[in-house]
Structure 1
Amino acid sequence: MPSFSTPLKLGPLLLKNRVIMSSLTRDRNLVPGPLQVEYYTQRAGAGLILTEGTMIEETGSEWSNAPGIYTDEQVKGWRKVLDSVHARQSFMYLQLWHIGRVAHPLLQNGRPNVGPSAIGANGGKFRVLPGAPGYVVPEAIKDPTSYIGLYRKAAERAKEAGFDGVELHSANGYLPHQFIDNTSNKRTDEWGGSAENRCRFPLRVIDEMCSVYGNNRVGIKLSPGGGYNDMGMSEKDTSETFAYLIQELSARRIAYIQLARYWDLGDPLKRGKEVDIFQWKKLINSEHTALLVNTNYNAEEGEKTLQADLADAIVFGRFYIANPDLAERLIKNQELNTKFNMKGFYGGEAEGYTDYPTYEQQKMKELLFNKVLH
């Protein structure tokens, strides 16, 4: 039975374990620098690191310091991160991110936010703007192929930087997810209507990414249950749409499909729903495409999921914030640090970012503290 410590063949890569570091927006680095080199290197015990969501163009995001891959300077910054991570025998995929309709024109020099249709999302707030305004209605994209071209260019820059692969962020109500969901996509052309048409955009993007990297170095993240950023279809539409999409992705022999479970904490409007993400497992050809699962897994449930052969690897998010050595802790069955420094969760410098202790450092600190007391 596989466990956290079991190596995993992922395309041409042999991951040293089945612990994956999730994409984690920390809002610190338009251009990756020494702090990001340290942050990712600390976590290179993971079999695979998925970078924080990385913008494919300058976009008016709530996360004003999220990184990009649209300038030469950013490529150089990421290359230094990769050199350090590779030196610790880990691999790194770049997550390609476009937020579509949940951008704000005031944060992108008056350029409109865009989406598949002129339908605004509900529930969000731009805390960085005076008065914390909500989402605004986007401008419908006239020619989706122009955005597909942006993803291709971003994949080319990722390859130039040295990334081992690329992941399409097609979850959490961002641009590809907005095309997939029939509540945000009301188009009547070839990009809307049927499941086949609504999935056309993410599949075309995947095809471009594959043409740059090769199919077996490309992954995708999906969140079928919706919720975040005002997403969520009916149970029937969800089941049928994602069945079609996952079949098409498997047929393309991509490296992996990452499925995120529904998380009510990110769904203030209760638009999403609990979805059995394993209902589509039978549609994935495991000989060439791995299934990664994400969202609220702890050590015990993650281990059981691997042992039951329900998934090939477990993707951990918040635990990787407070446990830079998470893979080692899971493999050795060591206690996890659950004390988060909320001050450094989003934005800032080293505090709450690179100052979390490893298990050994944590125990040494406790030992010294006890000696002082006695």
Structure 2
Amino acid sequence: MRDVLFEPYRLNDKITLKNRILMAPLTRCMAGPGLVPTDEMAAYYSRRADAGLIISEATIIRPDGQGYPNTPGLFSAEQILGWRKVTDAVHAKGGLIFAQLWHTGRVAHTFFFGGEHTVAPSAVALNGTVPRMRELQYETPKALTVSEIEQLVRDYAKAAENAIEAGFDGVEIHGANAYLIDEFLHHDSNRRDDDYGGSPENMSRFPLQVTDAVIAAIGRERTGIRLSPAAYVNMATDARDRQVFDYLLPALEQRQLAYVHLGIFDDSMQFDYLGGQASTYLREHYQQTLVGVGGYDADSASAAINAGKFDLIAIGRPFIANPDYVARVRQGDATKAYSDEMLATLY
């Protein structure tokens, strides 16, 4: 049953994966001064190079995208050089690695970048405090102007170019988990009445503009995107959101991306307005390469792939606990259980 996980998988003419197991993006908050990746990060990723593809921890495209401490960037020369150490280490072990491009939107905090405000589609604050820094209350963001949105599109494209310069094999646009791009796709966080809000077409405009700009910069074969059609974290559910994704997914399919990656913590969750699981909804509306995620183990993932539910599986916390996760699964060995204490060290 597990054999399907170890079959090579052809993403496109330029990229073939050696197996179907992806290392999911895992925010570790371990970057050094200037948000520069460290030698320890290079060693951490290289130990996991047996994955068919590593997706890096979320990496901010510009300073005001930061919402957590010590998250790496891809906007300075020093950061690019730091990531080059990581990609060289992964490639030396025969691995492939994509950079996940990130702007946290209203989940950002001015504490990190010293600006006057955070930015989002609409001036709607997120309730709560910043993880790992509970003394920081979320702020009310500034609603982006059209010219500021256009600048953000250029910034995503530049970050993609920087990723290729840093040696990455491609990028994953982070359009999930209630961060900036996802905030445009949900009615709770997008209350605009201009060309970027109100209708499925308008709400999809910014995500598609970013996607097109990244494709123009580095090619569709090197471009993936992560999406959360279910508003399951940091925003309220709205049944109208389905219409947005009903529009967005066929538009993305036309662009022939490397893949679409589900963003969810637990794929067993059911959503009435999606007709069940988020992965099932995505497969019904997107027939090209789909990456599943959210609580799967080797057996349940291989069963889902064999059933055609998705094509690749992204594994998260087990990769934190098991640098040799792929080898353990291949050999049928037990894996170590993840625990939160592991977050303090890059094993």
TM over 0.5: yes
Aligned residue identity for 1:183: D
Residues 31 and 212 of structure 1: is their aligned pair in 2 closer, same or farther, counting only changes over 3 Å? same
Which residue does 2:109 correspond to in 1? 104
**Secondary structure at the residue paired with 1:150?**
helix
Residues 262 and 274 in structure 1, CA contact (< 8 A), matched pair in contact too:
no
Aligned residue identity for 1:250: E
Aligned residue identity for 2:138: Y
Cα shift at 1:309: 2.0
User: Structure 2 matches for 1:84-233, cutoff 5 A?
Assistant: 84-125=89-130, 127-128=132-133, 132-143=135-146, 144-233=149-238
Cα shift at 1:299: 1.9
Residues 280 and 343 of structure 1: is their aligned pair in 2 closer, same or farther, counting only changes over 3 Å? closer
Aligned residue identity for 2:126: A
Which residue does 1:251 correspond to in 2? 254
Cα shift at 1:108: 2.2
Partners of 1:41 and 1:246 lie apart in 2 by 33
Partners of 1:147 and 1:222 lie apart in 2 by 18
Cα shift at 1:240: 2.0
The C-alpha deviation readout for 1:131-160, integer Å capped at 9, x for no partner, is: x24322100001211111110110111111
Residues 225 and 273 of structure 1: is their aligned pair in 2 closer, same or farther, counting only changes over 3 Å? farther
Residues 152 and 212 in structure 1, CA contact (< 8 A), matched pair in contact too:
yes
Cα shift at 1:88: 1.6
Partners of 1:210 and 1:41 lie apart in 2 by 27
The C-alpha deviation readout for 1:271-308, integer Å capped at 9, x for no partner, is: x996442223243343xxx1101111112211111111
The farther-off stretch of 29-38 and 1-10 is 1-10
Which residue does 1:364 correspond to in 2? none
Which residue does 1:368 correspond to in 2? none
For the pair 1:42 / 2:47, whether they are aligned, the reply is: yes
**Secondary structure at the residue paired with 1:95?**
strand
Which residue does 2:10 correspond to in 1? 9
Residues 123 and 230 in structure 1, CA contact (< 8 A), matched pair in contact too:
no
Larger of the two Rg values belongs to structure: 1
Partners of 1:339 and 1:293 lie apart in 2 by 20
Partners of 1:246 and 1:50 lie apart in 2 by 21
**Secondary structure at the residue paired with 1:205?**
helix
Residues 110 and 276 of structure 1: is their aligned pair in 2 closer, same or farther, counting only changes over 3 Å? closer
Partners of 1:185 and 1:62 lie apart in 2 by 19
Partners of 1:303 and 1:344 lie apart in 2 by 27
Partners of 1:201 and 1:61 lie apart in 2 by 20
Cα shift at 1:231: 4.6
Partners of 1:74 and 1:262 lie apart in 2 by 29
Q: Which runs of 4+ in 1 moved over 4 A?
A: none
Residues 5 and 239 of structure 1: is their aligned pair in 2 closer, same or farther, counting only changes over 3 Å? same
Which residue does 1:335 correspond to in 2? 334
Please give the TM-score of this superposition, normalised by the length of structure 1: 0.85
The C-alpha deviation readout for 1:193-238, integer Å capped at 9, x for no partner, is: 101100111110000110111111100001122222225322xx23
Residues 62 and 128 in structure 1, CA contact (< 8 A), matched pair in contact too:
no
Residues 231 and 89 of structure 1: is their aligned pair in 2 closer, same or farther, counting only changes over 3 Å? farther
Partners of 1:28 and 1:173 lie apart in 2 by 22
Which residue does 1:32 correspond to in 2? 37
Which of 222, 243, 255 in structure 2 is aligned with 1:240? Answer: 243
Cα shift at 1:104: 1.6
Q: Root-mean-square deviation (CA), in Å?
A: 2.2
Cα shift at 1:3: 1.0
Please give the TM-score of this superposition, normalised by the length of structure 2: 0.91
Partners of 2:338 and 2:150 lie apart in 1 by 45
The C-alpha deviation readout for 1:309-334, integer Å capped at 9, x for no partner, is: 22111001111100111112222222
The farther-off stretch of 297-306 and 35-44 is 297-306
Aligned residue identity for 2:346: Y
Residues 301 and 313 in structure 2, CA contact (< 8 A), matched pair in contact too:
yes
Partners of 1:96 and 1:4 lie apart in 2 by 26
Residues 55 and 67 in structure 1, CA contact (< 8 A), matched pair in contact too:
yes
Partners of 1:295 and 1:197 lie apart in 2 by 29
Which residue does 2:281 correspond to in 1? 279
Cα shift at 1:339: 4.4
Partners of 2:133 and 2:241 lie apart in 1 by 33
The farther-off stretch of 302-311 and 34-43 is 302-311
Residues 222 and 259 in structure 1, CA contact (< 8 A), matched pair in contact too:
yes
Which residue does 1:306 correspond to in 2? 305
Cα shift at 1:118: 0.6
Residues 184 and 255 of structure 1: is their aligned pair in 2 closer, same or farther, counting only changes over 3 Å? same
Partners of 2:180 and 2:65 lie apart in 1 by 13
* Structure 1: gaps (5+ residues): 267-271, 355-374
Residues 127 and 44 of structure 1: is their aligned pair in 2 closer, same or farther, counting only changes over 3 Å? closer
Identical aligned residues as a percent: 38
**What count of residue pairs does the alignment treat as equivalent?**
336
Which of 70, 75, 85 in structure 2 is aligned with 1:70? Answer: 75
